[in-house]
Amino acid sequence: MKIAANVLSALIFSAATLVHAEASFSKNESYKDNQVSVDIQGFGNQILDQAGKSKYLKFDLQGTEYAYVIERMASNSVKYTGNPNDIKGVVFLLVRAFKDGFELPKQVSIYKPSKYSQAIRIVKMDRNDERPYEFDLGMDEDKRLFLIDGPTSTTLLEQVDSIKKHVSRKDKKSPYAF
């Protein structure tokens, strides 16, 4: 009986190790901090094309639904008054975020190489001081998209065409509604 228990423990431990290993990312060996979108445009376009196949990229966190919409912006739709060399090779994105259906402030962003392989980094370009949406967006061989939380942790994104509708505090019958 003790041998069977040890074998079962070994199987559970090895299965847990495999799940842990699946979420492990190698370092992007060619990563340099000063790289821009054009340096990884082919792979960046693959990720953005996949993200564009649905309206939202959704995930749940402790009972709260979060969703992103990532859209490419036309180069002439961005007004930049600084040195034009600062934005050379940059692809602009409009990132919209939602929390339980409530739209958070929109953000103009760019993408650039990530320090993780098989991923791009979404970086805020807006001047406003709102909380930025900056994250590493990865894609696996099966074209599943995910957020990279760290070297061994990811959050899988569901590609969906609808999300929760926002319900105001007043409609929720909240004691804090005015």
pLDDT tens digits, residue range 37-61? 888 888 999 999 999 999 999 999 9
Region 113-125 average pLDDT: 91
Region 18-34 average pLDDT: 61
Tokens of 133: 């949406």
Radius of gyration in angstroms for the set of CA atoms belonging to the chain, rounded to a whole number: 20
The per-residue pLDDT of the chain, averaged, comes to 80
Region 85-89 average pLDDT: 84
Question: What pLDDT is attached to residue 173?
Answer: 62
pTM: 0.76
**Does the pLDDT at position 21 exceed 50?**
no
What is the rounded CA–CA span in Å between residue 88 and residue 110? 12
**Does the pLDDT at position 14 exceed 60?**
no
Would you say how long the chain is, in residues?
178
**Does the pLDDT at position 160 exceed 70?**
yes
Beta strand ranges found along 62-106 (DSSP E):
64-72, 92-99, 102-103
Region 95-116 average pLDDT: 93
Report which residue type is found at 140. D
Question: What pLDDT is attached to residue 75?
Answer: 75
> Which residues neighbour 8 within 8 Å (Cβ) at sequence distance 6 or greater?
none
Tokens of 7: 């074998």
**Does the pLDDT at position 65 exceed 50?**
yes
